[in-house]
Amino acid sequence: MRLSYPASVKIVKVPCTGRVDVIHILQAFEGGADGVCLVGCQEGDCHYVAGNIRARKRVEYAQTLLNEAGVGGDRLQMYNLSASDGRKFAQVAREITDRVHALGPSPLGKVSGFAFRVSGSRTDDNG
Amino acid sequence: MIVADRKPFDEIMGMIEPYRKILLVGCNECATVCAVGGTKEVALLASQIRMKSQVEGRHIEVDEKTLERQCDPEYACTLAGTLEDYDAVLSIACGCGIQFIAETFPERKVLPGVNTRFMGVTEKHGVWAERCQGCGNCVLDRTCGICPVTRCAKSIMNGPCGGSQDGQCELRNDIPCAWQLIIDRLKARGELDRYSEIEKPKDWSTSRDGGPRKRVREDMKL
């Protein structure tokens, strides 16, 4: 189809949106993302039965945490579309990019890159 | 397990306001099971604090640590030698764990990140409910395993009271009447005749009325 979507969108592949935890979303924002978008299968079509339903609930919770932290929950959005619907995906990518453009840069300001943490330790990259 | 709620985020930020470097400590026991203070929640709260302080142009450094149990000297002591680096400790264990860390390190500022609620069970995923008040004199053998002390709003020992309506407590309609539950279970077991046995007034001295409690087993003391 050779569809284009904004180059500012970085894709992180997961086997199912049910794999995405709230901390992954917060880490993306701490790592410098201006917005995060979860793209899952249509509700009712989950190969793992309820992965995308759980993801939706986690997105709602993450929005609350982001609002509390002053980052803004509206920078996070979830979409449901079929894996075969490339056209819709390109449209979603443009839509989230426009939304983030309208919101402006993340209030977290300039950060150096992703910082992955485990309990009790911290590793920063210098990217 | 002991069930808690995370304190409102603004309250937590207010508490840590004077400090620059915080150690956020979780607990691998009850606080983990009730999804309020385990490794996962430590990471989430630390991330939130970092983001909030960044948004406000402050710099609060938050390190993360989760102990096996905060209410046990064996694990609480493992923080020795590390706390000197921090202005304060923010604990998201239950009230017992928070107090025990403060007791173990009395010279350190230890702050609570949760409100401890009750001793309870996981009714289903994401739903916890109170089941025991630790009255110190269990009556579950006489009440078909349903605790009237905890589950009856009035803790009456010979119920139900006049406020029981359609099996619900008059206090809120999402609270089942404990005595209705007891009667239903007695009926189901064919033991309804036991309902006529009158429970004598309860001795509350074994409960909180007797002051803070302590249990000692001499054979276990080292």
Kindly report, residue by residue over B5-27, the tens digit of the pLDDT: 999 999 999 999 999 999 999 99
For chain B, which residues score pLDDT lower than 70? none
pLDDT higher than threshold 60 for residue A126: no
**CA angle centred on B135, ends B132 and B137, rounded to 5°:** 110
User: Which chain B residue has the Cα nearest residue A105?
Assistant: B55
Mean pLDDT, residues A111-127:
43
pLDDT higher than threshold 60 for residue A97: yes
Closest CA of chain B from A1, distance in Å? 40
Mean pLDDT, residues A68-73:
97
Which residues are CB-neighbours of A28 under 8 A, at least 6 positions away?
A: A12, A36, A114
Residues in chain B within 8 Å Cβ distance of A69: 9, 47-48, 51-52, 55
Whole-angstrom distance, CA of residue A12 vs CA of residue A29: 14
What was the pLDDT predicted at A125? 39
Would you call A50 an interface residue with chain B, using a CB distance cutoff of 8 Å? no
What was the pLDDT predicted at A127? 33
B70: amino acid identity, one letter: Q
What was the pLDDT predicted at B105? 98
Nearest beta carbon to residue A108 from set B44, B55, B65: B55
Q: What percent of chain B shows pLDDT beyond 90?
A: 99
Q: How many CB pairs under 8 A join A and B?
A: 56
What was the pLDDT predicted at A1? 74
Return residues 58-97 of A near B (CB < 8 Å): 65-66, 68-71
Whole-angstrom distance, CA of residue A60 vs CA of residue A38: 11
What was the pLDDT predicted at A111? 56
What was the pLDDT predicted at A89? 94
How many other C-beta atoms can be found within 10 angstroms of the C-beta atom of residue A75? Answer: 24
User: Which chain B residue has the Cα nearest residue A65?
Assistant: B48
Residues in chain B within 8 Å Cβ distance of A61: none
Span A51-65, pLDDT tens digits: 999 999 999 999 999
Whole-angstrom distance, CA of residue B13 vs CA of residue B99: 20
Cβ pair B80, B59 in contact under 8 A: no
How many other C-beta atoms can be found within 10 angstroms of the C-beta atom of residue B128? Answer: 21
Closest CA of chain B from A59, distance in Å? 13
pLDDT higher than threshold 50 for residue A121: no
Q: Confidence band (pLDDT; 50, 70, 90) for A110?
A: low
Mean pLDDT, residues A97-109:
94
pTM tops 0.80: yes
Span A6-35, pLDDT tens digits: 999 999 999 999 999 999 999 999 999 999
Length of chain A: 127
Contact call for A69 and B10, based on CB within 8 A:
no
Whole-angstrom distance, CA of residue A40 vs CA of residue A49: 12
Provide the residue ranges of all domains of chain B, joining segments of one domain with +: 2-118, 133-199
B91: amino acid identity, one letter: S
Tell me the pairing of strands A36-40 and B2-6.
unpaired
Q: Which residue's entry shows tokens 């939706």?
A: A56
Contact call for B43 and A117, based on CB within 8 A:
yes
Q: Confidence band (pLDDT; 50, 70, 90) for A109?
A: confident
pLDDT higher than threshold 70 for residue A47: yes
Q: Which of A64, A56, A22 is nearest to A39 (CA)?
A: A56
Contact call for A68 and B10, based on CB within 8 A:
yes
Fold of B2-118: Rossmann fold (3.40.50)
**Cis before B18? omega within 30:** no
Q: What are phi and psi of B12, to 5 degrees?
A: -65, -45
Tell me the pairing of strands A121-124 and B2-6.
unpaired
Closest CA of chain B from A57, distance in Å? 12
Contact call for A65 and B48, based on CB within 8 A:
yes
Residues in chain B within 8 Å Cβ distance of A66: 51
What was the pLDDT predicted at A34? 96
Q: Confidence band (pLDDT; 50, 70, 90) for A119?
A: very low
Closest CA of chain A from B25, distance in Å? 9
